[in-house]
Amino acid sequence: MDYINRDAYLDRLESWRDRDVIKVVSGVRRCGKSTLMELWKRRLAEQGVSASRIIHINLELLENERFLEYHTLHDEVLGRCTSDDMHYVVLDEVQNVPDFQKAVDSLYVRPNIDLYITGSNSRLLKGTLATLLSGRYVEIEMLPLSFAEYRSAKSEEESDRRAWSEYLHEGSLPAIASLEGNESLVHDYLTGILNTILLKDVAERLNVANTASLSAVAAYLFDNIGNLTSAKGIADAMTSAGTKISPATVSEYLQGLCASYLLYEAKRYDVRGKRILKLERKYYAVDMGIRRMVCSNNVRDTGRVLENLVFLELMRREGEVFVGKSPAGEIDFVTNGPSGKAYYQVAESVMNPATLERELSSLRAINDNYPKFLITMDDERSMSHEGIQQVYALDWLLGKA
């Protein structure tokens, strides 16, 4: 079977291979976790690991139903470890096994087992791992397809602009590519995923009875990606629009929606004071296809969509992403990941001189020598504005800039 390659995630697995931690691959439903495990098995085989030392049990498959008891699962894995050589054990959708952590903990301590697990429902979401696995793990948080990954699956004859348009419309979940642009199938597929996340992952985790109010909060956040907001601000806006809800309830829903990986929170960072600000945050959607569907096909706010996708790409490359506050105004993103600190402004176009000056002013006010970037959809050659690098968004997303 042909798969869209996910080299960045494979390289992260490679960096943790044979190290004394459980590798946990997490992320929103259908982002490609199980496929990543297939690709990982393929890479191990290419590196000379024999098939007998690669043990993969997908706990969603009916033929593996007998392993949905942790003693049986544990004994099955040990039974397949036939030598003292390192065995690579992959347990897919492990949350389907009640008390799975007991089997996982016991397998982890074996010197001849390198353990990888995936999961996606309310029993294995952000915030629960520390309790279940007591710090003996590293979490590899997976996002849907980047634009570069999505582009790699398209025809080379198709222009980058055309692929970008399709990426915005269809979204980035890997299975969408197999639906060949069929609007009805895409709608049904995305609806099913969204409902599963809201009704099972979030509502089950939070024990929510009023799922209509949960859906309303989710819709509000999808419609307001990239806007500074707070639980009180959301509650006030929704109450004014006729949906009465308290800030405490909104805060609880925010935690659940982020724990399900449906939305991501960006905290504010005071560049001058070098501290995290506690009040307003921004929220970004994990997938533009789901967002388009929730917002009734309204994708006219392409500037905020671009900002959202730059945020997700920075998460892939740098890890945690903050919204910056400088003396001259807001900075869209601040990162301090493997590449070091950097600042980013995002604008759909800066062809208007006044717009260009506004976007540059916040970056110019930062009195340090860390890299500063202005990312736009203006198809121009990369240029420098007194050390601030302006780059074409598609080149940057594709790794060309």
Mean pLDDT, the chain, rounded, equals: 92
Task: Tell me the angle at which helices 100-108 and 70-80 cross, rounded to the nearest 10 degrees.
Answer: 30
Q: How confident is the model at residue 299, as a pLDDT?
A: 62
Supply the pLDDT for residue 126: 62
Answer whether residue 123 shows pLDDT above 70: no
Q: Name the strand (E) or helix (H) holding 389.
A: strand 388-392
Percent of the chain whose predicted confidence (pLDDT) is above 90: 79
Among the ranges given (9-18, 175-184, 193-202, 212-221), the one the predictor scored with the smallest mean pLDDT: 175-184
pLDDT tens digits along 237-290: 999 999 999 999 999 999 999 999 999 999 998 877 567 767 789 999 999 999
Q: Tokens 């080299």 identify what position?
A: 7
Range of weakest confidence among 39-53, 172-186, 235-249: 172-186
344-399 pLDDT, tens digit per residue, is 999 999 999 999 999 999 999 898 899 999 999 999 889 999 999 999 999 999 99
Across 91-114, average pLDDT: 93
Give me the pLDDT at residue 2, please: 78
DSSP string, 328-367: TEEEEEEEEETTEEEEEEEES---SHHHHHHHHHHHHT--
**Half-sphere exposure for 92 (CA within 13 Å, toward CB):** 20
Q: What is the mean pLDDT of residues 151-170?
A: 93
What pLDDT is attached to residue 214? 96
Q: What are phi and psi of 323, to 5 degrees?
A: -95, 125
Please answer whether residues 104 and 23 qualify as being in contact, where contact means their C-beta atoms are separated by less than 8 angstroms: no
C-alpha of 145 from chain center: 9
Q: Output the pLDDT for position 1.
A: 62
Confidence of residue 292 (pLDDT cuts 50, 70, 90): very high
pTM score of the predicted model = 0.94
pLDDT at residue 127 in the model? 62
Is residue 145 within 8 A of residue 397, CB to CB? The reply is no
Alpha carbon of residue 333 to chain centroid: 16
Average pLDDT over residues 32-44: 96
Quote the pLDDT of residue 265: 96
Cα 172 from Cα 148, distance rounded (Å): 11
Mean pLDDT in residue range 288-311: 89
Q: How many Cβ atoms sit within 10 Å of the Cβ of residue 297?
A: 11
B/e letters for 339-365, b = 16+ CB within 10 Å, e = fewer, are: eeebbbbbbbebeeeeebeebbebbee
Residue 327 in this model has a pLDDT that exceeds 90: no
Per-range mean pLDDT, top range of 227-231, 267-271, 292-296, 366-370: 227-231
pLDDT at 119 over 90: no
